[in-house]
Amino acid sequence: MESFFHSVKLNKELCVGCTNCVKRCPTGAIRVRDGKAFITKELCIDCGECISICPHHAKSAVVDSRDSARRFRYTIALPAPSLYAQFNNLRDQLPVLRGLYGLGFDEVYEVAKGAEMVSSLTDQYLREGKLTLPAISCACPVVVRLIRTRFPNLINHILPILPPVEVAARLAKRDFCAKMGCTPEEVGTVFLSPCPAKSTACRDPLGFDKSAVDLVVSIKDVYPTLLAAMKRPDLPEYGELCGKMGLGWGISGGEAASLTHENYLAADGIENIIRVLEDLEDEHITGVDFVELNACPGGCVGGILTVENPFMARAKMQRMQKNLAVTGYQPRGVEERLLLFDHPIQFCEVLSLDQDLATAMELLNRIDEVESRLFGMDCGACGAPSCRAMATDIVMGRASEDMCIYKLREGLAQQTDKEEVLV
Ligand code: SF4
Ligand code: SF4
């Protein structure tokens, strides 16, 4: 039985049924009925588009509060590379990492280091011919969920290597327990995240059974206190810094650029990545070994839980990268299996009309027929994103034709004509 945890939630009280989110949702997961939006959980991929478009703040991200870390004896901060790009005038990430100690974290482990390990293993697998080409990065959870529900032919192309945050959480916990002589249960790993989809990926992982990330806190939440903590004069020193390749993962194209392979493609923004996936499925894109896709515009720096303008954040990140070395972080004693998926991701059939092919065909014909009676305006006033989606809802018994305002108007006009003839 599939579970569908979501980190995007709707507050019905605040929803006024304006349908702005209906038209923006890339998977057609939202409808407005009886003046309120609702989300079909099987279709939602937690992209967060509806959070940014809703003018009434009726949609929000489900993340953890910093206070929830109190239940652990020790805590480890896992800063996403995009966190560094939120601050002005940084030469490197050191002030941020030291500031995190100032916030009370017992340890800080850069997710960028996990990223460099993933890059190195990806390179190795590409060299050894172990991947189905083109391999598609699994770092963006929205992309993985999109492929899982909509692109069955691409499911085997998903890179079977854990995303950087998972690698970082596993290693950080393992090393900290060895250093302190404590149990993993006493240690809480806290990911400082740029987007809600990472929260979904940690609570409901795909490709592995249990996440080593215990809490996901938004960058927005931590930013003001971290900014203040960074100014403290008594902060502890930080050890080895991750280099420019790991940091680059925070911006679109950074993961692909960290590979020695040059045959890659990188795209960002939800509409662009859907187009790339469609073209890959239709084999219109060929001759590419690696595909990096980020749902947020500009990459993780464009996540909705960040504070800085994504273009500024990108510029800051690139400036910082110029001051950093190429490290290719590779700690000793890390077995390859620690970086790999536990099992392959399975395709999840959420769009089929019926399990039985003949019935599905019959339904498809009826949808065509109903759609031909609608007006093709795709106005969204009925609460569905398009006339096609509305026709599907009608045939599947979830809506009726009189919910179309043009049909309603047509019916009223016919009624008036009849009355005039009678008079
Ligand atoms: S954008 Fe969606 S959630 Fe927000 S008020 Fe309009 S219909 Fe409701
Ligand atoms: S998070 Fe994305 S996929 Fe989910 S309902 Fe909102 S816009 Fe649609």
Q: Ligand 2 atom 6: the closest Cα is on which residue?
A: 50
pTM value surpassing 0.85: yes
Residues 235 and 261 in one domain: yes
| Residue 22, ligand 2, Cβ within 6 A | no
Flag whether 350 is in a domain. Answer: no
Buried b (16+ CB within 10 A) or exposed e, 162-192: bbbbbbbbbbbbbebbeeeeeeeeebbbbbb
Flag whether 79 is in a domain. Answer: yes
Rounded-to-integer distance, Cα 227 and Cα 95, Å: 10
* Residue-wise DSSP of 98-142: HHHHHTT-SEE--HHHHHHHHHHHHHHHHHTT-SPSSEE--SSHH
Instruction: Report the candidate in 233, 32, 265 with the shortest Cα–Cα distance to residue 143.
Output: 265
Residues 233 and 276 in one domain: yes
Q: Domain of 196? A: 66-240+251-339
Residues 287 and 376 in one domain: no
Q: Give the confidence band of 328 by pLDDT, cuts at 50, 70, 90.
A: confident
Per residue in 75-93, pLDDT (tens digit) is 999 999 999 999 999 999 9
196 pLDDT above the threshold of 70: yes
| Residue 158, ligand 2, Cβ within 6 A | no
Report how far apart the first and last C-alpha atoms of the chain are (Å, whole number).
62
Q: Give the confidence band of 422 by pLDDT, cuts at 50, 70, 90.
A: low
Mean pLDDT along residues 329-342: 85
Residues 40 and 75 in one domain: no
Distance 383 CA to ligand 1 centre (A): 10
Rounded-to-integer distance, Cα 188 and Cα 175, Å: 13
| Residue 381, ligand 1, Cβ within 6 A | no
Residues 211 and 312 in one domain: yes
Among residues 306, 339, 372, the one where a domain terminates is 339
Flag whether 141 is in a domain. Answer: yes
pLDDT for the residue numbered 423: 57
Flag whether 402 is in a domain. Answer: yes
Rounded-to-integer distance, Cα 167 and Cα 162, Å: 6
Instruction: Report the candidate in 274, 339, 268 with the shortest Cα–Cα distance to residue 303.
Output: 268
Distance 14 CA to ligand 2 centre (A): 17
Distance 4 CA to ligand 2 centre (A): 13
Distance 387 CA to ligand 2 centre (A): 19
For the record, the structure tokens of 119 come out as 């890059």
Of 5, 9, 27, the one to substitute when testing ligand 2's pocket (max ligand atoms within 8 A of C-beta) is 27
Ligand of minimum distance to the alpha carbon of 39? 2
Residues 90 and 117 in one domain: yes
Mean pLDDT along residues 202-215: 93
Residues 27 and 71 in one domain: no
Per residue in 146-194, pLDDT (tens digit) is 999 999 999 999 999 999 999 999 999 999 999 999 999 999 999 999 9
Distance 161 CA to ligand 1 centre (A): 37
Calculate the alpha carbon distances from 235 to 5, 50, 91, 223, 379 in Å.
38, 40, 18, 17, 56
Here the CATH number for the domain that contains residue 17 is: 3.30.70.20
Tell me how many domains the chain contains.
Answer: 3
Rounded-to-integer distance, Cα 203 and Cα 148, Å: 17
Ligand of minimum distance to the alpha carbon of 58? 1
Residue bearing tokens 């699994």: 138
Q: Give the start-end residues of each E strand in 279-385.
A: 290-294
Flag whether 345 is in a domain. Answer: no
Task: Tell me which of 82 and 409 has the higher pLDDT.
Answer: 82
Distance 271 CA to ligand 1 centre (A): 20
Buried b (16+ CB within 10 A) or exposed e, 5-28: ebbbebeeeebebbbbbbebbbbb
Count the Cβ atoms, other than its own, within 10 Å of residue 232: 12
Per residue in 279-303, pLDDT (tens digit) is 999 999 989 999 999 999 999 999 9
| Residue 46, ligand 2, Cβ within 6 A | yes
Count the Cβ atoms, other than its own, within 10 Å of residue 234: 6
Average pLDDT over the chain, rounded to whole?
92
Of 15, 24, 43, 45, the one to substitute when testing ligand 2's pocket (max ligand atoms within 8 A of C-beta) is 45
Q: Which residues on neighbouring strands pair with residue 112, listed in sequence order?
A: none
1 pLDDT above the threshold of 60: no
Flag whether 346 is in a domain. Answer: no
Per residue in 10-32, pLDDT (tens digit) is 999 999 999 999 999 999 999 99
Among residues 40, 61, 82, the one where a domain terminates is 61
Distance 346 CA to ligand 2 centre (A): 21
Flag whether 246 is in a domain. Answer: no
Residues 73 and 191 in one domain: yes
| Residue 141, ligand 2, Cβ within 6 A | no
Question: What is the residue type of 184?
Answer: P
Mean pLDDT along residues 130-154: 95
354 pLDDT above the threshold of 90: no
Among residues 46, 61, 76, the one where a domain terminates is 61
Ligand of minimum distance to the alpha carbon of 350? 2
Per residue in 248-282, pLDDT (tens digit) is 999 999 999 999 888 999 999 999 999 999 999 99
| Residue 8, ligand 2, Cβ within 6 A | yes
| Residue 17, ligand 1, Cβ within 6 A | yes
Residues 256 and 362 in one domain: no
Distance 15 CA to ligand 1 centre (A): 5
- Residue 147 — φ and ψ, nearest 5°? -65, -40
Here the CATH number for the domain that contains residue 423 is: 1.10.15.40
Q: Ligand 2 atom 8: the closest Cα is on which residue?
A: 25
Q: Answer for the pair 104, 74: CB distance below 8 angstroms, yes or no.
A: no
| Residue 39, ligand 2, Cβ within 6 A | yes
Peptide bond into 134 cis (omega under 30): yes
Task: Tell me which of 184 and 377 has the higher pLDDT.
Answer: 184
List CB contacts of 338: < 8 A, sequence separation 6 or more: 167, 170, 171
Flag whether 349 is in a domain. Answer: no
pLDDT for the residue numbered 342: 93
Q: Give the confidence band of 377 by pLDDT, cuts at 50, 70, 90.
A: confident
Residues 90 and 176 in one domain: yes
Residues 139 and 268 in one domain: yes
Residues 366 and 323 in one domain: no
Distance 82 CA to ligand 2 centre (A): 22
| Residue 45, ligand 2, Cβ within 6 A | yes
Q: Ligand 1 atom 8: the closest Cα is on which residue?
A: 15
